[in-house]
Amino acid sequence: MNGPELLKFLVSIPSVSGSEHQLAEQLAAILQSEDFAVQREGDNLWFSIGEKLPHLLMISHLDTVPACAGWASDAQTPVTAGDKLTGLGANDAKGCVAAMIMAARTLRGAPLEGKVTFAFVVREETDGEGVRTTRPRLGAIDAAVIGEPTALEICNTQRGMLLLRCAAYGEAAHVAHAHLGKNAIHQAARDISRLAAMQFEPHEKLGISRPQVTEIAGGTARNQVPGRCEFFVDIRTTPNLDHAELAKRIAEELEGEVTVHSARYEPAATEEREPIVRAALAAAGKAKPVGSVTTSDWAFLRDIPTVKAGPGDTARSHRPNEYLHFTELEAGAEFYAALARAYFALVTKEVAHV
Ligand SMILES: [Zn+2]
């Protein structure tokens, strides 16, 4: 199966988060038939080539979001037109998975000055359960590459996500006797106005973080002063902001009660001088790393020098008629192989100089 055929195969098997089993089964069979020593934990797959240190992890995800409205054709049936393959997951992130497998094929053709583990995990789009389960099985990792569509830009930082649940408590009363009650929705509205005006210290690459109220529920009857109103706040955070501190600052400014609903998708960053960043820039022919506004499994590899890079475009993700060009796929495969070689060359050279 050549690269384009592999991508088409991956896209042809539906793998919405939580339902990756069939894809994992079939991909494992293909990799085994190519003599890759596939290991497995649930529906997470990985294999390594090379044995020496350093140990580089290349990781991407098998799952997709559910198909949204607006597809011109069946989302689960790949459509090829010339150089372009359209289908759910073609861009996010089956193109990266295919490109990494193509790179593995190339890399094992010559001696390697290090070890590369390729891991394809589940549930990246929901809770990162796949990477969290797989990581302890991989041993010590010196650097990592997250396969996500970045148009082969090298991202050395990404935003995190802090979810807060806010509650306003008032006192219910008949609307005709409003003075006897305390309107929880009115209180929530004041808090929401405060949130909408809030801005936090900007990050040099990722810019400003603005809290967004994304869901609200309050009131039980049209003729009753509401006694309770609840809403969620989603903040896409940057590496200069600490989640616990941010939650505390917000709680101090609001009248209502603030609880942390989810804080584990912390923002991530890797210093530009790290060999993995320099190797990735050299392999992609780019001068400077950039920031990525979306969160990813990187949140669970934050302690490892990591970059996020891959073929495709983040703007095509989670949208109808998602596609990837085969030229992008080929460029991605070449990039991953060149990145591994450049990283090993850089690290072994620097060790020799010490
Ligand atoms: Zn993705």
Q: Are strands 143-146 and 55-61 parallel, antiparallel or unpaired?
A: parallel
Q: Are strands 84-86 and 257-265 parallel, antiparallel or unpaired?
A: unpaired
How far CA 170 is from CA of 176, 180, 183, 256, in Å, comes to: 16, 11, 5, 10
User: Following CA atoms 269, 290, 103, 160 in sequence, which dihedral angle do they give, to the nearest 10 degrees?
Assistant: 40
The DSSP-derived string for 124-160 is TTTT-HHHHHHGGGS---SEEEE---STT--EEEE--
The model's pLDDT over 199-227, given as tens digits with 9 standing for 90+, comes to 899 999 999 999 999 999 999 999 999 99
Cα of 25 vs centre of ligand 1, distance in Å, is: 20
Cα of 231 vs centre of ligand 1, distance in Å, is: 27
pTM of the predicted model over 0.85: yes
Cα of 64 vs centre of ligand 1, distance in Å, is: 7
Query: Which structure tokens are listed for 156?
Result: 């050395």
Cα of 241 vs centre of ligand 1, distance in Å, is: 24
**Mean model confidence pLDDT for the chain:** 96
The whole-number pLDDT of residue 162 equals 97
For residues 246-256, average pLDDT: 97
Q: Which residue has the tokens 């020593």?
A: 37
Cα of 92 vs centre of ligand 1, distance in Å, is: 5
The model's pLDDT over 260-299, given as tens digits with 9 standing for 90+, comes to 999 999 999 999 999 999 999 999 999 999 999 999 999 9
pLDDT over 70 (residue 354): no
For residues 315-328, average pLDDT: 96
The DSSP-derived string for 242-301 is -HHHHHHHHHHH-SSEEEEEEEEE--EE--TTSHHHHHHHHHHT-SS-EEESS--GGGGS
The model's pLDDT over 14-60, given as tens digits with 9 standing for 90+, comes to 999 999 999 999 999 999 999 999 999 999 999 999 999 999 999 99
The model's pLDDT over 118-172, given as tens digits with 9 standing for 90+, comes to 999 999 999 999 999 999 999 999 999 999 999 999 999 999 999 999 999 999 9
Cα of 63 vs centre of ligand 1, distance in Å, is: 8
The H or E element containing residue 60 is strand 55-61
Cα of 62 vs centre of ligand 1, distance in Å, is: 9
Cα of 318 vs centre of ligand 1, distance in Å, is: 9
Cα of 334 vs centre of ligand 1, distance in Å, is: 20
Q: Which of 122, 121, 221, 124 is nearest to 173 (CA)?
A: 221
The whole-number pLDDT of residue 192 equals 98
Cα of 305 vs centre of ligand 1, distance in Å, is: 19
For residue 59, the SS3 value is strand
Cα of 188 vs centre of ligand 1, distance in Å, is: 34
Whether the Cβ atoms of residue 46 and residue 120 lie closer than 8 Å to each other: yes
The whole-number pLDDT of residue 350 equals 75
Cα of 152 vs centre of ligand 1, distance in Å, is: 14
Cα of 147 vs centre of ligand 1, distance in Å, is: 8
Whether the Cβ atoms of residue 56 and residue 143 lie closer than 8 Å to each other: yes
The whole-number pLDDT of residue 349 equals 83
The model's pLDDT over 57-93, given as tens digits with 9 standing for 90+, comes to 999 999 999 999 999 999 999 999 999 999 999 999 9
Cα of 61 vs centre of ligand 1, distance in Å, is: 7
Q: How confident is the model at residue 353 (pLDDT cuts 50, 70, 90)?
A: low
Q: Give the C-alpha separation, 138 to 55, whole Å.
A: 10
Cα of 148 vs centre of ligand 1, distance in Å, is: 5
Cα of 114 vs centre of ligand 1, distance in Å, is: 27
Which backbone phi and psi does 164 adopt, to 5 degrees? Answer: -115, 145
The H or E element containing residue 85 is strand 84-86
Cα of 313 vs centre of ligand 1, distance in Å, is: 10
Cα of 212 vs centre of ligand 1, distance in Å, is: 22
The whole-number pLDDT of residue 281 equals 98
Cα of 296 vs centre of ligand 1, distance in Å, is: 7
Length of the chain: 354
User: Following CA atoms 315, 295, 190, 226 in sequence, which dihedral angle do they give, to the nearest 10 degrees?
Assistant: 100
Cα of 219 vs centre of ligand 1, distance in Å, is: 37
Query: Which structure tokens are listed for 18?
Result: 């939580």
Cα of 288 vs centre of ligand 1, distance in Å, is: 22
pLDDT over 80 (residue 344): yes
Q: Give the C-alpha separation, 64 to 88, whole Å.
A: 7
Q: Which residue has the tokens 């198909």?
A: 67
Cα of 180 vs centre of ligand 1, distance in Å, is: 52
Q: Give the C-alpha separation, 144 to 296, whole Å.
A: 13
In the chain the first and final C-alpha atoms are separated, in Å, by 44
Q: Are strands 143-146 and 257-265 parallel, antiparallel or unpaired?
A: unpaired
